[in-house]
């Protein structure tokens, strides 16, 4: 594979040249949602980040197996290992069968992802569908002596693990410090140490999601699903594991420990973590109750939103920041993104209409090299996008006759622009086509024709009246050389 893709590895805290374990195959695992509520803007970040990675790896010629899980059991509501299962709680509140609730939010998640033009993963395993695999993993960990049973539950023995391996290598923690800083929590007497975590939890009598096991009627711990499913579909050691930065500890730290304890080998080669989306400088999150659902964005239905935003605007907005930086939400930033995206899309449409010349007056290969150089540098999408804007500027200048392009260059430009915009960044124009062909559009054609007649008679009083009154209805008329177009604001 002839490229130099560098990816920042959270484990080594360095950018590393990406070399697959078994090229051209690449195994990619990303933590998906816990489906107990509507997807919000925060869910869009990893989905989009790793969608671009998935697309780019495929563009580079790799055969990628992309696994993104659905967490539908075991994710507890409160303090580690003592709260209620999130799905069960929500199901109780909404008086639904837990799997009914899961199905509802999975459907909604898929709908939102589709709108954001996120490719479906190769495999989307559910935690509840892999109870057997999780139980088998628990047995392996018990057999190797890194877990213990306590009152029907099974806990991971962090101290025991730490004698042979290193717990905390991902998040830069050590167990002594953790011990010193751990708050004593009620109801944790089953554990030998406060930072031991559950592999299997005995279900209390009112708990509705539970499975039989030799330890108890119960359910698996949250961290276990990713270890079990990652191993099942991608192998004991695989290439890339992604997720939000907030999952780095404890979730991914525990995942590493479990996998190594069970299999005796390193779990993941490259760990990638996307940063958070902030709102007024603070993390957008369920617990802070400052999150905006994706459907609310698409409909403009939230007190923080001045109006609705298209899914592509949100995708572009997120890609204008590098994935390891925080990105701050604001209406102003979103509207800026909307206009910028529009500019790129119309430049893209212009390419097919450009006239060619015997010579090119600009350096196309420089733009192309800069763009792929940026993508190879830990997916620096903002710089790649800046290069697309440079290309757009040149496309417009060619269209104005102020720059020229040869036929081969034009072909290459078109191929480059579409590859980056559509195939890699996944930015496509929203279909404005839905307005065409209906009554509204036919009526507008009549009004525009009448106004054109008035203008031809130099009856500007009438033509301006038509335009002003349409303006009052938030319908904007644009007179161009090719005729008059209209758009709703």
Partner RNA sequence: GGUUCCGUGGCCGAGUGGCUAGGCACCGGUCUGCAAAACCGAUUACAGCGGUUCGAAUCCGCUCGGAACCUCCA
Residue of 310, 316, 313, 312 whose CA lies nearest to 381:
316
Of 439, 446, 478, 483, the one binding RNA by CB under 7 A:
478
Which part of the chain contacts RNA (CB under 7 A), choosing from 41-49, 139-147, 202-210, 307-315? 41-49
Q: Where in 69-128 is the site for RNA (CB under 7 A)?
A: 75-80, 83, 86
Q: Where in 149-188 is the site for RNA (CB under 7 A)?
A: 171-173, 177-178, 181-183
Does residue 278 bind RNA (CB under 7 A)? yes
Does residue 302 bind RNA (CB under 7 A)? no
CB within 8 A of 58, min separation 6: which ones? 64
Of 140, 169, 232, 455, the one binding RNA by CB under 7 A:
455
Phi, psi of 108 (to 5 degrees): -65, -40
Does residue 251 bind RNA (CB under 7 A)? yes
DSSP state of 325: S
Does residue 204 bind RNA (CB under 7 A)? no
**Minimum distance from CB of 86 to RNA (Å)?**
6
Which part of the chain contacts RNA (CB under 7 A), choosing from 88-96, 157-165, 240-248, 434-442? 240-248
Does residue 67 bind RNA (CB under 7 A)? no
- Compute the C-alpha angle 261/176/270, nearest 5°: 45
Which part of the chain contacts RNA (CB under 7 A), choosing from 29-37, 60-68, 157-165, 352-360? 29-37
- E strand spans, 196-352: 198-202, 218-220, 238-244, 268-274, 277-279, 282-283, 327-329
By the 8 A CB rule, do 243 and 46 touch? yes
Q: Where in 44-63 is the site for RNA (CB under 7 A)?
A: 45-46
Nearer to RNA, 20 or 257 (CB): 257
Q: Where in 220-239 is the site for RNA (CB under 7 A)?
A: 222
Q: Where in 416-445 is the site for RNA (CB under 7 A)?
A: none
Which part of the chain contacts RNA (CB under 7 A), choosing from 243-251, 257-265, 293-301, 352-360? 243-251
Q: Where in 326-385 is the site for RNA (CB under 7 A)?
A: 326-328, 330, 332-333, 335-337, 339-340, 342-343, 346-347, 377, 380, 382-383, 385
Nearer to RNA, 205 or 281 (CB): 281
Nearer to RNA, 439 or 481 (CB): 481
Produce one character per residue of 402-412: b if its CB has 16 or more CB atoms within 10 Å, e if not. ebbbeeebbeb
**Minimum distance from CB of 34 to RNA (Å)?**
4
Nearer to RNA, 1 or 288 (CB): 288
Give the Cβ contact number of residue 151 at 10 Å. 9
Measured CA to CA in angstroms, residue 103 lies from 96, 99, 100 at distances of: 11, 6, 5
Q: What is the C-alpha to C-alpha distance for residues 342 and 448, in angstroms, rounded to an integer?
A: 24
**Minimum distance from CB of 50 to RNA (Å)?**
10
Does residue 20 bind RNA (CB under 7 A)? no
Does residue 16 bind RNA (CB under 7 A)? no
DSSP state of 74: S
Q: Where in 130-149 is the site for RNA (CB under 7 A)?
A: none
By the 8 A CB rule, do 486 and 477 touch? yes
DSSP conformation letters of 159-225: HHHHHHS-TTTTTT--HHHHHHHPPP-TT-TTSSSTT--EEEEEPPTT----B--SS-SEEE-TTHH
**Is residue 24 reached through a cis peptide bond, with omega within 30 degrees of 0 on the bond before it?**
yes
Say if residue 30 is exposed, middle or buried (CB neighbours under 10 Å; 0-12, 13-18, 19+): buried
**Minimum distance from CB of 25 to RNA (Å)?**
25
State the number of binding residues for RNA (CB under 7 A).
92
Which part of the chain contacts RNA (CB under 7 A), choosing from 99-107, 113-121, 407-415, 458-466? 458-466
DSSP state of 419: I
């Amino acid at each position: 594979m002839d490229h130099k893709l560098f990816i920042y590895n959270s484990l080594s805290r360095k950018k590393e040249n990406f070399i697959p374990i078994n090229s051209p195959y690449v195994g990619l695992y990303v933590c998906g949602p816990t489906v107990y509520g509507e997807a919000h803007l925060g869910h869009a970040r990893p989905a989009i980040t790793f969608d671009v990675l998935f697309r780019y790896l495929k563009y580079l010629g790799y055969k990628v197996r992309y696994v993104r899980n659905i967490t539908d059991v075991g994710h507890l509501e409160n303090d580690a290992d003592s709260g209620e299962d999130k799905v069960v709680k929500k199901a109780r509140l909404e008086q639904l069968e837990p799997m009914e609730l899961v199905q509802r939010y999975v459907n909604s998640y898929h709908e939102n992802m589709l709108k954001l033009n996120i490719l479906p993963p190769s495999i989307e395993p559910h935690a509840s569908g892999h109870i057997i695999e999780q139980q088998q993993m628990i047995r392996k960990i018990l057999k190797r002596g890194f877990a213990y049973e306590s009152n029907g539950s099974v806990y991971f023995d962090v101290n025991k693990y730490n004698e042979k391996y290193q717990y905390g290598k991902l998040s830069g923690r050590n167990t002594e410090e953790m011990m010193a800083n751990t708050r004593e929590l009620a109801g944790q007497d089953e554990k030998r140490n406060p930072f031991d975590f559950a592999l299997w939890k005995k279900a209390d009598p009112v708990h509705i999601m539970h499975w039989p096991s030799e330890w108890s009627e119960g359910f698996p711990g949250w961290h276990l699903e990713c270890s079990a499913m990652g191993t099942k579909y991608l192998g004991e050691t695989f290439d890339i594991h992604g997720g939000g930065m907030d999952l780095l500890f404890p979730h991914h730290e525990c995942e590493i420990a479990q996998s190594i304890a069970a299999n005796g080998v390193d779990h993941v080669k490259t760990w990638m973590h996307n940063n958070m989306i902030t709102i007024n400088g603070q993390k957008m999150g369920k617990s802070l109750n400052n999150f905006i659902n994706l459907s609310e964005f698409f409909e403009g239905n939230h007190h923080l939103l001045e109006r609705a935003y298209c899914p592509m605007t949100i995708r572009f907005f997120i890609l204008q920041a590098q994935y390891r930086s925080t990105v701050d939400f604001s209406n102003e930033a979103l509207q800026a993104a909307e206009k910028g995206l529009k500019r790129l899309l119309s430049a893209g449409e212009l390419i097919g209409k450009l006239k060619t010349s015997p010579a090119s007056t600009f350096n196309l290969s420089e733009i192309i090299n800069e763009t792929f150089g940026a993508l190879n540098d830990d997916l620096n999408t903002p710089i790649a996008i800046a290069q697309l804007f440079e290309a757009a500027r040149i496309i417009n200048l060619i269209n104005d006759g102020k720059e020229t392009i040869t036929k081969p260059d034009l072909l290459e430009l078109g191929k480059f622009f579409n590859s980056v915009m559509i195939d890699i960044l996944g930015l496509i124009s929203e279909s404005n086509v839905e307005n065409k062909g209906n009554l509204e559009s036919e009526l507008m054609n009549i009004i525009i024709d009448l106004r054109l007649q008035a203008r031809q008679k130099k009856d500007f009083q009438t033509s301006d009246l038509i335009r002003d009154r349409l303006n009052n209805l938030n319908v904007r008329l644009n007179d161009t050389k090719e005729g008059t177009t209209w758009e709703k604001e």
